[in-house]
Amino acid sequence: MGRPLSLPDLSRPVLEVAPRLLGAHLAAGGCTVRLTEVEAYAGQDDPGSHAFRGRTPRTQVMFGPAGHAYVYFTYGMHWCMNVVTGVDGEASAVLLRAGEVVEGLDVAQARRPGVRERDLCRGPARLCRTLGISGVHDGVDLLAAGSPVRLLPGAAVDPAGVRTGPRVGVAGDGAVAPWRFWSDGEPTVSPYRAAVRRVRRST
């Protein structure tokens, strides 16, 4: 702590930007969230990225300039939000996995009745739901003053408290880059759940 409160240059490489987004604030839907867990997706270099197989209508925002929101719909009912990083055309982004509500808690709890405060933004889909983020926010400029979703400077995080981990499920030939970043000791960071192949109900 104690470092000046400022946002990282989002046009830098995603693995550099991701840890520096911890502690930043995300304001939307009358609430402000302090980011506590993020995950980097490096586009062409990450088999787990939506953009790995190339540009599609769905992922075209990831290929655009940094500072925009890439919001996608998954599992039939959940929205997840990324912050596009890197230079134009690189398709890298940072998935916002978890956060803590620091402003507008009453609004958040009204939107999510019965949910404990620490669970409001514990998980990428819950974070979006609590903030009211959906597909209409796909591609918005997070740095524009008039945007419905804004990324703002927050509380600087002690680099020593930033923990990293390789993503399980992504096969790496040799060393695997630490894709996930989270603030140590944050109750809003959920334990990692190994990817399980879902068995679909037979038709």
Partner DNA sequence: GCCAGGATGTTCT
Partner DNA sequence: GAACATCCTGGCA
Which residues are near DNA by CB under 7 A? 39, 41, 48-51, 53, 56-59, 62, 70, 72-78, 80, 82, 93, 95, 115, 119, 122-127, 129, 190, 195-201
CA 121 – CA 39 distance, rounded (Å): 15
CB of 160 to DNA, least distance (A): 27
**Residue partners of 87: CB distance under 8 A and separation at least 6:** 11, 66
Alpha helices per DSSP H over 53-146: 105-111, 124-131
* Closest to DNA by CB, 1 or 201: 201
Residue 59 one-letter amino acid: T
Q: Closest distance between DNA and the C-beta of residue 150, in Å? A: 19
Least distance from C-beta 91 to DNA, angstroms?
9
Closer Cβ to DNA, 38 or 157, answer by number:
38
Query: Given the complex with DNA, which of 126 and 137 has the nearer CB atom?
Result: 126
- The CA angle 40-14-9, to the nearest 5 degrees, is 130
Q: Kindly report the length of the chain.
A: 203
Closer residue to DNA, CB minimum distance, 57 or 185: 57
- Contact 152/160 with Cβ under 8 angstroms? no
The amino acid sitting at 203 is T
Shortest Cβ distance from residue 146 to DNA (Å)?
25
